Amino acid sequence: MELKYNLTEEDYLHFNLFHIKNSKAGQNSLIIQRYSTPIMFIGMSFLFSTILDIPFLVMFFLFL
């Protein structure tokens, strides 16, 4: 028996999205990326604004 099929780039994207949404490791990775990155930027902005005596919002916008 011989099967022929075509896989497109869209098929790969759909499979990757399905896998991330249904795997525990993928969900943990997304949660870490979703929350740790903004917290890190806010923390660095606060740290540098405190050290350099520059208003927090100015440093926050510089890090964006």
Q: Cβ atoms within 10 A of the Cβ of 59, count? A: 20
**What are the residue ranges spanned by the domains of the chain?**
38-64
Cα separation of 59 and 49, whole Å? 6
Give pLDDT, residue 11: 95
Average pLDDT, the chain: 88
How does pLDDT run across 13-41, given as a tens digit for each residue? Answer: 999 999 988 999 989 998 899 999 889 88
Give pLDDT, residue 44: 87
